[in-house]
Structure 1
Amino acid sequence: MKKTIAVTFAIVSLATAGVLLAGCGSKEKKTEVTVFAAKSLNGVMDELCEKYNSEHPNVTFQTNYDSSGTLMTQIKEGAKCNIFFSAGVSQMDELQAGFDGGDIVEGSRRDLLNNQVCLVTWKGSDTKVTDFSNLSLAKNMALADQTVPVGQYTRKALINAGMAGSEYTEVDQLTDDVISKALGGLEINNCANVGAVASAVAEGANEVGTVYYSDTFGYEDQLDIIEQLPNSLTGDVIYPVAAVESDNISNEELEASEDFLTYLQSEEAVKLFEKYHFTVQ
C-alpha cells in the first residue's frame, strides 16, 4: 500500500513539474504583434485577431486603425508596426521602397482584398442625388482627405467621369475648393478617414458621402447606398498586406506575423472578410 502511494506521488510530482515547465516555456514565447490597418478593416480585423488569439494564446495583438496615409506616415516616423494592412496600393508601395530603420519583409506582401466605393446617404434624407453623375444636386458632402485612399478613389472617379474639369488630370490637384467649385458650390466636409465619413452621413450631418462597401456593414438601418461606383471610374480598390521589419522587431515577432498573414488567407478568414462585404483576391 505504501509502495503504491509512493509511486502515485512520484507520477503526480512529475506531471506537476511538466505542467510548470510547460508554463514557463509558454511564458517565454509570449509574443505581441502590432497591426496597423486601414479604418475600413476595423470590425473584421478585431474578429480575426480574437479568433487567431483563441487558437494561439501565446500571440496577442495591439491594433491601430486609421487612414492608410496616416498609418504609413507613423511607420516611416518610427512607430513600431509588425503588420501593415493598407486600403491603397500606393501607401504600401511607398513603404516597400524602404524607409529609415525599416522595410517591408521580402516576399510577405499579398494583395489580399478588393472593395468598392459607394455613394451613400442617410435613410430618410430625400436627397435628389440618384447617382454619382448628379452629385452636385446635394447641398453638402462628407469626403475623406486627399491622403486617404477612399478620398483618392473618389477624386479619381470625378476625373474619369469628366466632372472635375478638363484642366484637372491628377488626384492631388483636386482640393476641396476645386471640387466644390466643379460641383456648383457643393459644401465639402473634409474627413480624416472613411469611418468619419460614414458617421457624418449616418448621423445626418452630411447629405451624401463616399465610403467603401465594407463600411456599410452595421449601418444597414442608417445608410442607403445610392450607387456602387464601377471600377472603370475608381480603378481597382485593392488592399495589400505585408509584414514589417525594423531594428526594434524581434525574430519571434516576425515569425508570428508571417503565421498570421497565412491565417488571413485561410478559409475561416475568407468567410469573415466576405461577411464584411470584402472580396478576397
Structure 2
Amino acid sequence: MKRLFAALLLVLAASLPASAGSITVFAAASLTNALADCKTGFEAAHPGDTLALEFAASGTLLERLGTGAPCDVFVSADPETMTLAVDRRRVDGATRRVVALNDLVLAVPAGNPAKVDNLDSLSRGGVRRIGVGNPESVPAGRYAKRALQQKALWFALTSKLVYYPSVRHVLAALAKGEIDAGFVYATDAAAGRAVAVAAPVPLPSPVTYVAAVAAKAADPKMAAAFINYLASPEGVATLGRYGFAPPPQQ
C-alpha cells in the first residue's frame, strides 16, 4: 500500500508544471486593457503560472511599493517614476526595461461641445473644465504640464484645470461630459467610448513605459520572464493591438 501511495505521489508530481508560480504586477492605469490580454498570452505560454494585475497611477503604485505591498513587477508610464523606484530601492535597477511607447492627446467628449481643436483653444471662454492627471503622481499629468508650459499656457489655465488620480479617471470624465477637454494617452482615447481626439500633444519624446522586477519580488525569475514576454514578438504584437508602439531596440 505504501509503495502504491508513493507511486501515486510521483505520478501527481510529474503531472504538475515544474515552474508553477504566481506573481503580482503593478502597472500604470493606461495599460489596463492591454495587460489583461498579455496576462492571457503569458499564462498560456507558461502553464501553471498565474498573474495578478493591479492598476493605478504610476506614482500611487510607487507609494504602495514603499509601504511593502506585495509586488513582483512594476510598470510605470514614465522613466522618471521608474528612476525614483530605483533610487528608493523599490525595484532592481539592473532589470529595468522599456516595454512600450505611446502618445499624449487632447481629447474631448463626443461632439466636442466646446469646439476645442488645439492647445491654444483651451484659453477660450467656452472651455471651463480641463481634465488632467495630478502631476504629482500621474505621468500623463506631468507630460501635459510640460506641453502646456512650452506654450506658456500652464499658469494661464490654472483656474480651469481639474486634477484626477489617474488618466483613466480623466477618460471617464470625458465620456460623461463632465469636462470640456482632457489630456489622455492616444490608446485611452481609442478605447474610450463617447470620446474623440481634438489634437495630438507635441512632446520632446514619446510617452515611455518602463518595467522592472520589484526589489522584494517573491519570484524574481518569473517576474523577469513576464517582462521579457512584454518585449517579445508576441507581447509587442498584443500591445500593438491596443495602440502601443514597440520599444526601441535594446
TM-score, with normalisation over the residues of structure 2? 0.88
Whether 1:237 aligns to 2:207 is yes
Which runs of structure 2 are paired with 1:25-64 in the superposition (5 Å)? 25-26=16-17, 29-64=19-54
Aligned residues: 240
AA aligned opposite 2:36: D
| Deviation of the 1:21 alpha carbon | 2.8
Cα offset for 1:126?
A: 2.7
Q: Which residue of 1 aligns with 2:220?
A: 254
The amino acid that maps onto 2:108 is T
Deviations 1:128-185 (A, max 9, x none): 2210122122121111112210011111111111223xxxxxxxxxxxxxx4xx1384
Could you say what secondary structure the match of 1:245 adopts? Answer: coil
**What is the CA-CA distance between 1:53 and the residue it aligns to?**
0.8
- The 5 A counterparts of 1:108-257 are 108-137=95-124, 138-146=127-135, 147-164=137-154, 179=155, 182-183=156-157, 185-186=159-160, 188-219=161-192, 221-232=193-204, 235-246=205-216, 249-250=217-218, 253-257=219-223
Any idea what SS the aligned residue of 1:33 has? strand
In structure 2, relative to structure 1, the CA distance for the partners of 1:128 and 1:242 (3 Å cut) is same
4+ residue runs over 6 A deviation: none
CA distance in 2, matches of 1:263, 1:87: 18
Q: Unpaired segments of 5 or more residues in structure 1?
A: 1-12, 165-178
Paired-residue identity, %: 26
CA–CA separation in structure 2 for the residues paired with 1:240 and 1:185:
33
Partner deviation per Cα, 1:242-281 (whole Å, 9 max, x = no partner): 11122xx44xx11111111111111111111111111112
Is the CA contact (8 Å cut-off) linking 1:136 and 1:184 kept in structure 2?
no
Paired residue for 1:73? 63
Structure possessing the higher radius of gyration over alpha carbons: 1
Q: Which whole-Å deviations, capped at 9, do the CAs of 1:169-222 have from their partners, x for residues lacking one?
A: xxxxxxxxxx4xx13842x32211000000000111111100001112322x41
Deviation at 1:107, TM superposition (A): 2.5
